[in-house]
Amino acid sequence: MESPDPRNLVPPGRTAHFSTFVAAVLVAAVLVSADGLVSFASTLPDLPAAFWTMAVLAVACDARPFLPPGRGQSSSAVFPSTCFTFAILLGWGLGPAVAVQAVAVVVSGIRMRHAPWRTAFNAGQYACSLAAAYAMTRLGPGEVYDGAALGWTDIAAIGGAGVAWFAVNYGLVTAAVRLRFGERWWPNAWHGLPFELLSTGSLLLLAPVLVTAARASAALVPLVLVPLFAVYRMARLTVEQHQLASLDPLTGLPNRKALLAEVNEQVHRHAERAARGESETRLALLLIDLDRFKNVNDALGHAVGDRLLVEVSARLTDVVAPPQMVARLGGDEFAIVMTGLTDVGEARALADQVVRALAEPVPLDGLPLDVGGSIGIALYPEHGEDFATLMRHADVAMYDAKHRNDTVAVYTAESDHNSAERLGLLADLRRVLEVGASGRADGSAPADAPTVRGGDGAVLPASAPLEESTGTRWWGRRRRRPRVVHHDDELIARIITGADPTLRRAARAVESDDAPAGGTAWSGVGAGAQPELGHGGADPTTLTDDDHPGAESGTDAGEIMMYYQPQVAIATGDVVGVEALLRWRHPRRGMVDPEELIRVAEQSAVMRLLTRRVVDDVVEQLAKWSAAGLGLRAAVNVSVRDLHTGEIADQIADRLARYGVAPERLQLEITEGALMADPRRVLTTITRLHRIGVGIALDDFGTGYSSLQHLRRLPLSEVKVDRSFVLGMVEDADDAAIVRSTIELAKALGLRVVAEGVEDERTWRMLHAAGCDAAQGWFYARPMPAEELVAWLARYRPLRPLGGHDEAEVPRRHAR
């Protein structure tokens, strides 16, 4: 049994109001056209051949109305009878026009299978429109065509009649749609207005020409079919252009613009239903990203990739049935809009169907191509109430699915690493880096710059005593006390000073005149000396500088600084180097967690700015230490993004040469994860750095992939045992065995071994027993700013292990 046409149905709950409106239109049509129809019956035998020609053409043309492709057949069809009936109205009055229009409407209704109520409503709507137009013509001095020539008043009357016809007709149709479907009145009316003006307006403007031609000869009337066809073509081209703007040219699916319009419309409808208290339904946005599409493009070319996208779009349309929408966003991204959901399980079920459809190989030129997909799901209203939010959350869920090696994921706030807070943090980081590097954005020094410059940018005398270096910061200006506020009103000055802890400390320092300039109280002696204050012995709030970057511009983004943690040779107790650790004191958040800082930066171009800043300042600090008679090696961590190009090698070579620092004084630490991202390009960059003379250390050894292969292929000088193993080696026999095995393997390959996370004496002694070369951790010292490191070195006394390697107690392996 054939299902009824949905265009002939009225949604439940709207029948009463809509039926009342239809009845009112029909009653108005009968009232305004009754007199004209009665007079038409009496004058029927006297009507000329031109009238009958127009009547026949009106009915015949409406038997096959012009239906522009891709638009609804109800509101957007072009009915040529409009031209003929309006011409009849101008030439022979309201009665003949209403009669001919009614016959044409009945014929077109039968042809398009309209319900009786729709046909009746269309006839009534046209009768009211013609009556409004006829009233406008009667406002003139008499009949429009009662003389041989038309005057300006006649032209004005014809124009007013056309405007009245269009306004009444379009208004009645829009009101009917609003009452029938509950759609927004003004947006929908405005959206369809251009098309209706072009098509219906052109037909109305042809009517006066047609009447004039009919007055001359009835044989001229059929010639109007040519301009009528031109009107049809214009309407068709207009719709096609509108379609092209909303369709993807490759697959023929709706594009991002169409998806935006659909989601906004569905969101509004869901909100309206919720406001009316109807059963709660949800809207789901599914974002699909093909997993191996780039491999196809790279290996077989973009032409094959395009054919693959067409095949994928066909599979998606086979799985997703109307009224759900499938759209292509660009590249290998697709989206699906689902409406009327009751729970997320329905969206997951459709996503699973899509995954199964995409899992089947796609045969192209005899080659089966495997292309899977990752799908992220965001629901309205739980995950967003507008297109932008739903789209972003679906994107987050899709990448969450990729990272978990899953196929489908629903958005959760925990997986959203790109929140507005993080974006703000990224913007602040970019600002502090750009402001801090404004004096050397191009990496060049002034023409009169000396060979060696201090961390504050000033000339560093080669004979500078060691103690003087403790008063400068590695990257900024000389460390000074914050300026004390002086105000004419003493009360205001006290309020300002009391509200700012930095100014409060500065005021106390001025009063006592004996406050330390960054010195720290220390406890303990020898290798176990620990600062009384956390994280390097310095209270982070004492690092405030009243003229730090950004203070002048009013856009304070905090300070980027480097802390240094000593690396100590276990056997001798000598300090052999330091690891440079990045720190950021944010004006609102305080000290930003280093892991969060790197996580925010490494997915954007800011990471390159950050690495450039770190390398510049660490090499400067090495030059400063060298001039002060302090020979330390500094290790710097670099990210995957830094190793994908040769830029970092060029930068390091330039900085080493400019500051006169020996290449072996600098060491770069890379992780195994960075190696796995793109081994070929990373190996090329590492090889260049090795040829320069820069040391390469493999950081976090044992936590990545293919460790033995990396040790064999890479030009390494050092291996760093990850702190996760070192911290547990005293209590866990497995961790101890891993550390010992790593040390033995590295020794066999001629590599130095550095252990991270040494925090107690027992771990220190076990590492010595295992033959580890060096260690770093809180057992020796916490990370500290450069000036405090120099002070620490002045107090440090090497601590050497006593006895042989067999003195350490090794934990027994637990039985399993």
Catalytic residue positions, numbered: 756
Show the tokens assigned to 303.
Answer: 């032409």
In this structure, the number of other CB atoms found within 10 A of the CB of residue 574 comes to 12
Where do we find the tokens 């252990």?
755
DSSP string, 344-399: HHHHHHHHHHHHHHHHS-EEETTEEE---EEEEEEEETTT-SSHHHHHHHHHHHHH
In this structure, the number of other CB atoms found within 10 A of the CB of residue 514 comes to 6
Contacts of 214 (CB under 8 A, 6+ apart): 48, 50, 51, 53, 54, 87, 91, 220, 221
Which is it for strands 367-369 and 362-364: parallel, antiparallel or unpaired?
A: antiparallel
Tell me which amino acid residue 612 is: R
Angle, CA 238 vertex, CA 235 and CA 244 arms, to 5°: 140
Contacts of 13 (CB under 8 A, 6+ apart): none
Closest C-alpha among 390, 738, 780 to residue 578:
780
Q: Are 334 and 313 in contact (CB under 8 A)?
A: yes
- Residue length of the chain: 816
CB half-sphere exposure, 309, CA atoms < 13 A: 25
Contacts of 109 (CB under 8 A, 6+ apart): 118, 119, 122
Three-class DSSP category at 693 = coil
Strand partners, 366: none
Categorise residue 706: left if φ over 0, alpha if ψ from -120 to 50, beta otherwise. left
Three-class DSSP category at 667 = strand
Where do we find the tokens 């009463």?
16
CA 12 to chain centre: 40
Continuous segment of H or E residues that includes residue 158: helix 152-181
Closest C-alpha among 348, 343, 398 to residue 373:
398
